[in-house]
Amino acid sequence: MQRALTLYQSTIGKKVAMALSGLVIIGFSIGHMLGNLNAYAGEVAFNEYAEGLANLPFIVWPTRFLLLACFGIHIASAFTLVTRNKDARPQAYHVTKHHEATFASKAMPISGIALFLFVGFHLLHFTLAPQLFNAAHFENPFWNFYAGLSHPVLALVYIAGNLALGLHIYHGFFSAFQSIGANHPKYNPLRRDAAVGLATILTVANLMFPISVQLGYIEAPAGYEAAMADAAAPVNDAPAGDH
Amino acid sequence: MSTFNITLHVWRQKSPTAQGKFEDYKVEADEHMSFLEMLDVVNEDLIEKGKEPIAFDHDCREGICGMCGMVINGEAHGPQKLTTTCQLHMRQFKNGPFDIWIEPFRAAGFPLVKDLVVDRSGFDRIIQAGGYISIRTGAPLDANATPIPKAVSDMAMDAAECIGCGACVAACPNASASLFTAAKITHLGLLPQGQAERPERARNMVTAMDNEGFGSCTNHGECESACPKGISVDFIARMNRDFVKASATAYDRAAKSDGD
């Protein structure tokens, strides 16, 4: 433990911590996306998957704690390193010309902050406080999925958030190999290809959820429209109030 | 002989604490001049006028000592790949740009001394922390007594090409010294003679690098692009591996004898 802490005190140790925690979060993101693909199989399949997960508390809760720890380590390390890197060049250049740095690599702190806000929003929206965003909340996971993504503004938030995710992973997945020292001349070109492939698959698949709902490819479940009308009705019937 | 007119915007700063600013100079450049010779011409003129010449570091002017270095139009050592400032020739600017901005290497780890001169003794302290091997002196060993595979000795030579000019720090958006430190750790860590001190070397040099206030590596790759010797960022991954391994496996006795 003392060695791990000593390692973490160095800049390289923090980068290794960021790489490993980032890889765990990427792993979760892949599982999350694959699970959500059940939405294309319809209401019954999606709800069976959701309830199946809920019935595995001994898997769900340790995963949640692990993810929380990974997010904490990732963000704390990033904050320390970004602050340090800013201090490392107190006076900026008048002219800068970059050759290798990409839009994604330079935007890592920005896309990271965007992801932090997006994940916070996503947790509130679907888990902690759905009533803040949705007109109605249901005990049916698929109905909540549909209610969330059929709202045009919320769908845009999901699209923007997933673009930030793709950008972050495009540099982060590649960078992680370098940070943990996983390199070999034979396999080095594959690291960039793997990052492009993973970022593309994850982003496109995630973007398709809000887009499919918006375009009607994923249809409203039976009875949903009527229930929404009922939920909206009391608002219409409410006393005129003070206006 | 072909000459052309350029305008220089040079960072002038009297002392580490003085307020610096860009000053403009009009120069007639010959395409066969090196960049430093062009600055020599500017300085001759300044001296004749009784003004303070532009201070810049230089020594061998052959591209091997690592003494020269400035940021030219946003690029450490200027626009030509694999070339130090002293080996950069004005023919590179024959077709423009005719406005040339010249700045010192900017990093907290390289405090400015005067004009374009920065103090790179931070690199010396990183070397002192472990960039050496301890051997008994005496009669020299037979040159081929220790067999080293050709591929390994080639890679060690690639790393040993580093001249310690600091362009990697200057070009890095984070002003990180990772490429320099990695080149030195790799160069010695690949060879049989460097094995005995390899774990301590990685730990001590990385610690020294952090203590100098350089930034961390975020894998932009700008350092490799700016390096006049083409040192590969692959060595940074090697350094990370050596450092993590050394941190995990170093003998506690060795750690205690560090004195910290």
Give the pLDDT confidence of B215-240 residue by residue, as tens digits.
Answer: 999 999 999 999 999 999 999 999 99
Q: What is the ipTM of this complex?
A: 0.92
Distance of residue B208 Cα from the nearest chain A Cα, in angstroms? 10
- Closest chain B residue to A5, measured at CA: B247
Asked if residue B166 has pLDDT above 80, the reply is yes
Average pLDDT over residues A209-221: 95
Residue A214: how many other CB atoms lie within 10 Å: 16
Asked if residue B202 has pLDDT above 90, the reply is yes
Asked if residue A236 has pLDDT above 90, the reply is no
Share of chain B above pLDDT 90, in %: 89
Contact map slice: B 186-215 vs A, CB within 8 A = 206-207, 209-210, 213-215
Q: Domain B3-103: what homologous superfamily?
A: Beta-grasp domain (3.10.20.30)
Do A195 and A171 meet the contact criterion of CB atoms below 8 Å apart? Answer: yes
Predicted confidence at residue A92, as pLDDT, reads 97
- The secondary structure of chain B in percent helix, strand, coil, rounded to multiples of 5, reads 40, 15, 45
pLDDT band for position A238 (cuts 50, 70, 90): very low
Asked if residue A241 has pLDDT above 50, the reply is no
Q: Tell me the chain B residues in contact with residue A81 when contact means C-beta distances shorter than 8 Å.
A: 215-216, 218
- List the single best residue of A2, A82, A87, A89 to mutate versus B (max B Cβ within 10 A): A89
Asked if residue B256 has pLDDT above 60, the reply is no
CB-nearest partner of B218 from A13, A89, A105: A105
User: Where exactly are the structural domains of chain B?
Assistant: 3-103, 120-135+143-259
Is the four-CA dihedral B195, B196, B199, B204 of positive or negative sign? negative
> What is the rounded distance in angstroms from the CA atom of residue A175 to the CA atom of residue B177?
17
Is the four-CA dihedral A136, A138, A144, A150 of positive or negative sign? negative
Predicted confidence at residue B138, as pLDDT, reads 86
Q: What is the pTM of this model?
A: 0.93
Can you name the CATH fold of B120-135+143-259? Answer: Fumarate Reductase Iron-sulfur Protein; Chain B, domain 2 (1.10.1060)
Do B58 and B86 meet the contact criterion of CB atoms below 8 Å apart? Answer: yes
- Closest chain B residue to A87, measured at CA: B108
For helices A141-150 and A224-237, angle between their N-to-C axes, nearest 10 degrees: 70
Q: A181 and B214: CB-CB below 8 Å?
A: no
Predicted confidence at residue B108, as pLDDT, reads 98
Contact map slice: B 226-255 vs A, CB within 8 A = 226, 233-234, 236-244, 247-248
Distance of residue A83 Cα from the nearest chain B Cα, in angstroms? 9
Q: B234 and A185: CB-CB below 8 Å?
A: yes
pLDDT band for position A240 (cuts 50, 70, 90): very low
Q: Tell me the chain B residues in contact with residue A92 when contact means C-beta distances shorter than 8 Å.
A: 106
CB-nearest partner of B244 from A16, A92, A177: A16
- Closest chain A residue to B249, measured at CA: A3
Q: A101 and B108: CB-CB below 8 Å?
A: no
Asked if residue A80 has pLDDT above 80, the reply is yes
Q: A100 and B221: CB-CB below 8 Å?
A: yes
Residue appearing with tokens 């600091």: B166
Q: B106 and A92: CB-CB below 8 Å?
A: yes
Average pLDDT over residues B69-76: 98
Do B227 and B192 meet the contact criterion of CB atoms below 8 Å apart? Answer: no
Predicted confidence at residue B252, as pLDDT, reads 57
Do A115 and A202 meet the contact criterion of CB atoms below 8 Å apart? Answer: no
Q: Tell me the chain B residues in contact with residue A185 when contact means C-beta distances shorter than 8 Å.
A: 234
Fold match between domain B3-103 and domain B120-135+143-259: no
Query: Which residue(s) pair with B3 in the sheet?
Result: B30
Q: B244 and A181: CB-CB below 8 Å?
A: yes
Asked if residue B255 has pLDDT above 70, the reply is no
Share of chain A above pLDDT 70, in %: 95
Is residue B58 helix, strand or coil?
A: coil
String of b and e for B237-257 (b: at least 16 CB within 10 Å)? Answer: bbbbbbbbebbeebeeeebee
Asked if residue B253 has pLDDT above 60, the reply is no
Average pLDDT over residues A56-79: 97
Asked if residue B155 has pLDDT above 60, the reply is yes
Contact map slice: B 74-113 vs A, CB within 8 A = 74-75, 101, 103, 106-109
pLDDT band for position A144 (cuts 50, 70, 90): very high
Least confident of A130-139, B67-76, B180-189: A130-139
Predicted confidence at residue A242, as pLDDT, reads 47
The set of residues, in sequence order, having a beta carbon less than 8 Å from that of A162 and lying 6+ positions away, is: A203, A206, A207
Distance of residue B95 Cα from the nearest chain A Cα, in angstroms? 18
Q: Which tens digit of pLDDT belongs to each residue from A17-58?
A: 999 999 999 999 999 999 999 999 999 999 999 999 999 999
Residue appearing with tokens 């900026």: A92
Do A8 and A78 meet the contact criterion of CB atoms below 8 Å apart? Answer: no
Q: A179 and B233: CB-CB below 8 Å?
A: no
Average pLDDT over residues B36-40: 98
Predicted confidence at residue A234, as pLDDT, reads 58
pLDDT band for position B260 (cuts 50, 70, 90): very low
- Closest chain B residue to A102, measured at CA: B220
Asked if residue B157 has pLDDT above 90, the reply is yes
- List the single best residue of B71, B101, B174 to mutate versus A (max A Cβ within 10 A): B174
Predicted confidence at residue B136, as pLDDT, reads 81
Q: Tell me the chain A residues in contact with residue B247 when contact means C-beta distances shorter than 8 Å.
A: 3, 6-7, 10, 13
Q: Which tens digit of pLDDT belongs to each residue from B41-65?
A: 999 999 999 999 999 999 999 999 9
